[in-house]
Every structure is written in structure tokens, then in C-alpha cells.
A and B are shown apart, each in its own frame.
Chain A
Amino acid sequence: MAVTVSIPTILRTHTGGEKSVSAAGSTLAEVIDNLDANHGGIKGRLVKDGTLHRFVNIYVNDEDVRFAGGLEAKVADGDNVTILPAVAGGAR
């Protein structure tokens, strides 16, 4: 099960500057483990205490995985996984 993963600027230090890499897995959790095996340290930037980091958005194709099972979201061969840092903040 090969998927294409888009890597945001801030995480490209883990992928040798590559904007897009391939990874394998049938759930998002498996894809992230596989990514981490090839691009050490990336998992720690995405997952914290077993759940997705609050300010990192991950999409399978067009769907935000928060609405599709989070780390258990299903991933199929040929899917596109996009990682985007949240743009957020504020005075409080």
C-alpha cells in the first residue's frame, strides 16, 4: 500500500528537503510509523501521547483525518496524505 505524503516546509529537515515522499501503510498510524522509519524524528512532530498534535493538520486526500478516525483513519493504495501546520495563535 503505497501513498504519497506531502511534507510542509517546517518538516523538510527530516526528508532531506523533499516536498513529497512515499510511504506505506493501511492506516494513518502505520503510514506515520513507516515515515518515521525512513525519516527519523518525524513522528515526534506529528504525534504526542498517542494522538495527533493539536496544531498539525493531516488530510487523506481532501479529508481532515480528525473527522475520519484520527490515527486510525484508513489509507488506500494511491492516496495522497497531506501534512500542514495549523495557522493559528492569538492574544490569549
Chain B
Amino acid sequence: MLTIRRDLVDAMVAHARRDHPDEACGVIAGPDGSDRPERFIPMLNAARSPTFYEFDSADLLRLYREMDANDEVPVVIYHSHTATEAYPSRTDAKIAQEPYAHYVLISTRDPQEHEFRSFRIVDGVITEEPVEVVESYRFAHTGPDDVPEQ
């Protein structure tokens, strides 16, 4: 189950709409061990393509160093599909290498209604999970109780 704040969902959807028809991609980082997405980090799609995305290699290094320094992990890794459904492709499943991340897919194929789904991808195996959108994490049961929630 992915529990996520509505403003973060809105930010991902807005990014996907903005970059359409190219695929948009990014991360939402959160405290290590919390499973709570907090810091929205839109990334450039170095492939600038309607059918492929890839973080630029220098951006990737900077991102992971920054998360490391903050004791954060990539809780959500998102990208958009601009002409197909919000379901991981074979390429997505083959390349996915963060077994603890929630892989969020947003489809912008319909100009009005977006699709938003979340998956775990472990060793190439895709498992869809429910998404709970909340206004704040205060009353959602995420993370340890001794970490302040936002």
C-alpha cells in the first residue's frame, strides 16, 4: 500500500502533464525506514522521449548523495506513459532496481482524465498495490511514532 499526500500526487500529475508528450520522471524522497514520501524532486528526462525515460547520470549521483546526506531514500519513483496505460512495461520491469520503492505510473494518454497507479517491482516481478491519498500524514499510520510528521 502506498499512502501519499494529495499535494504530492497533484505535483506528479502536473509534472506529467507539463512534459507531455515526452515522459516525465522523478522521485519523492522520505526518511529512511519511514515509507513516507515527503520531498518532491522532479527530474529531467535525459532521453527526452515519448517512449523512454532516464535520469541523467550526473543528476542521479547528485540526487543520491543529497538523499544520503539527509538520511532519505527514494520512497516513490514516478514516471509517465503518454500513450499507453499506467502499468509498467517490460522495459520498466527489467530495469527497475529499487526493491523498496513504490513505482508510480501516471498515464496522460487522455487529455482530461489521468490514470495513477502504484507498483512494487522486485527482480522483474510487478505487483500492483492500493493507493491511499491523504490530506496529511498526521492521521495516517505511516512511519515510526518518534519521527515528527508533516
Q: CB within 8 Å of B: which residues of A?
A: 8-10, 55, 57, 59, 62, 64, 66, 82, 84-92
Contacts and interface: CB of A to CB of B under 8 A. Distances in A.
B51 A86 contact: no
Main secondary structure of the interface of A (DSSP, over half): mixed
Interface in B84-113: 84, 88-89, 91-92, 95-100
A86 B55 contact: yes
Interface of B: 23, 25, 27, 43, 47, 49-55, 57-58, 60-61, 64, 73-74, 77, 79, 81-84, 88-89, 91-92, 95-100
B105 to A, nearest CB: 9
Given A8-B97, A9-B99, A10-B97, A89 B79 contact: yes
Contact of B58 (A8, A64, A88): A64
Contacts of A10: 97-99
A87 B77 contact: yes
A89 B49 contact: no
A67 B97 CA distance: 23
Contacts of B99: 9-10
Given A55-B95, A55-B97, A89 B61 contact: no
Contact of B53 (A55, A62, A90): A90
